[in-house]
Structure formats: structure tokens, C-alpha cells
Structure 1
Amino acid sequence: MKHIVHTAYVTVELHRTINATPETLWRLHTDVNAWPSWNAGITKAVLRGPFTEGNAFDWDTPSLSISSTIAQVHPLRRTVWGGLAHGIQGVHIWTFQETEDGTRVTSQESWTGEPVEADPDGMGAALSESMHGWLDALKFTAERTYG
């Protein structure tokens, strides 16, 4: 689970350049319990232990309750987590790369499972909308609070 499933019915990759340091973005990104305070797309988030490989967190969106396990952590550079929710297996990769303009954040996610196979276009649109919202919220929070 350390890579996107390229054969998945739904795969989305998005980028944002954020006028903030990798340290600032990492702090926001790995403080799972605080996600609902700045990301309206997440209604609840609880990390079970520190943000380290093998630990899990439970989080809710308006349409899904998800339990994710952290598969990879490279501080200030990359995280990978994944889990199963309502028949959807997701793998989510985040990367952070410092640039002259701030930090380039890449968010990649793949979804597999029967619900995705039954409606790949609808599921792809939902995932894309969710990821755009998450990146927009991260950018807004980092630049407004720390920029």
C-alpha cells in the first residue's frame, strides 16, 4: 500500500503551490485531530497514537466514515495511508517539495472496489471534488495563518 493503484477504476492526482514552508504544511497535515478545524470536508478525525507508520486514524466526511492506516512517513516530504470504507479501498499519497514560490503539494489517491466499479465517473468526480477542497483548505489555512 505504498503506491497508487494505477489499474484502479478511479485515480486522481492534484497539485498546489502553497506559499508556506514544508514545516508549516507538515504540521497541519500530520495534526490529524485538528483537520476538522480547518477542512470543512472532514467532520471528525482521531489519530490513534503518533503520526507514524502502522498507526491508524478514524475520520468522517459528510458521506463516509473511514479508518486509515499510515503506511509510510518521510518527514516533511511524503506520507501514504490507506483503508477500506463502505467497500472502497483507498490509497492516498501526499508529497511536499520546497520550491522558490513556497511548497508544491501533490495529492494522489486511487480507489478500487465494487462501488467504484459500479460508478467510476460519479466516484471519480466525488474524489476529485474532495481532494480539490482539501488542497484549497490547506492552502488557505497555511497562507492565512502562517504566511
Structure 2
Amino acid sequence: MEINENAVLKTSKEIEILAPVEKVWNIQANIDAWHEWQPDISEAKLASRLESGATFVWKSGGFKLTSTIGKVSKNDFLGWNGRGFGASAIHIWEFKQMENGNTLVRTKESMDGWLVRLLKGMMDKKLSESLDTWLNSLKQVAESQ
């Protein structure tokens, strides 16, 4: 699973988290608890087990979204895609255990569609800020537990 390299918007970020990969993975993979530590998310509910094809409904920045898990590999990879009014997105997360025992988290997202093209400047800034918030929140909760 990869992001759409031809999409109107593409962003990638990474962060080193001072915690083992299993701990970081367990926090990120618990979709139902995202709203407890991620300030942009007000609710999230996985419809079944965390596996390819599973769907989850969530609210981020006031927008209700339905996403489908595209690929999941425990402690390594989590990716989903979703469609909404005038937009589609692909979001992937990669987790790598570093030699020092910390975890390197990389995230990439692509967004496309007529609404994204129309509001490209604003949405590009919002997407970048959103990924920064998500990564920093994940770091904070993983390092404080």
C-alpha cells in the first residue's frame, strides 16, 4: 500500500519516539482510543478487528469520516484510505525499531479530489499541521506511559 503520488496534496513526516515499537504500535493501533490522546479527533470507532478491509468511523477537525484499513502488519505498518465529499485520502504509518530501543514513526498522506484542488493552499497547511499534531501527541502519550 502506498500513497497516491499523483494526488494534489502529499505530505510525509517522521518522529523518533523514546519508547519501544510495541508500545507505540499498541497506542496507534487502538483506533477506538484515538480521541483520548489525539486532540484533533473527537471520536473513533473500529467496526471489527483491526485487519485489511475493516472500516472505522471517526471525527477529525469536526468532519465525520469513514475509512477502510488497506494494510496492517503488527508493529510495522498501518494504512487506510477514505472518501468524503469532494476528496479522497490515503494515509500510511510505518514503525521501525531503532538500534537504541526507540521507535522511528513515519507517516505519509495523499489527498485528491475536486474539493482538495479548489482549497489546495488551505488544505495543504491543515494537513501538515494535522500530521505534526498527531505525531507529537503520539510521542507525548508513548513517552509518558
- Superposition TM-score, scaled by structure 1 size: 0.95
Does structure 2 conserve the Cα–Cα contact (< 8 Å) formed by 1:64 and 1:85? no
Aligned residue for 1:3, secondary structure, equals coil
Contact 1:72 1:78 in 2 (8 A): yes
Equivalent pairs, count: 144
Query: How far apart, CA to CA, are the structure 2 residues paired with 1:37 and 1:17?
Result: 21
Q: CA RMSD in A?
A: 0.9
Deviation at 1:98, TM superposition (A): 0.9
1:79 corresponds to 2:55 = no
CA distance in 2, matches of 1:86, 1:21: 38
Q: How far off is 1:88 after superposition?
A: 1.2
Contact 1:91 1:110 (8 Å CA) reproduced: yes
Structure 1 residues 108-123: aligned runs within 5 Å:
108-123=108-123
Question: How do 1:1-147 residues align onto structure 2 when only pairs under 5 Å count?
Answer: 2-101=1-100, 102-145=102-145
1:141 and 1:134 mapped to 2: Cα distance? 11
Kindly provide the amino acid, as one letter, of the partner of residue 128 in structure 2: S
Residues 103-122 of structure 1 deviation map (CA, whole Å, 9 limit, x = unaligned): 10001000000111112121
SS at match of 1:76: coil
Q: What's the offset of the Cα at 1:6?
A: 0.7
Which consecutive unaligned segments of at least 5 residues does structure 2 have? none
In 1, the alpha carbon distance for the partners of 2:6 and 2:59 equals 26
Cα distance in structure 2, aligned partners of 1:77 and 1:119:
33
Question: Could you list the runs of 4 or more consecutive aligned residues of structure 1 that deviate by over 3 angstroms after TM superposition?
Answer: none
Taking the aligned partners of 1:100 and 1:139, their CA distance within structure 2 comes to 18
Task: Answer whether contact 1:78 1:94 (CA < 8 A) is retained.
Answer: yes
Unpaired segments ≥5 residues, structure 1: none
Q: Post-superposition shift, 1:74?
A: 1.2
**How far 1:80 moved relative to its partner?**
1.0
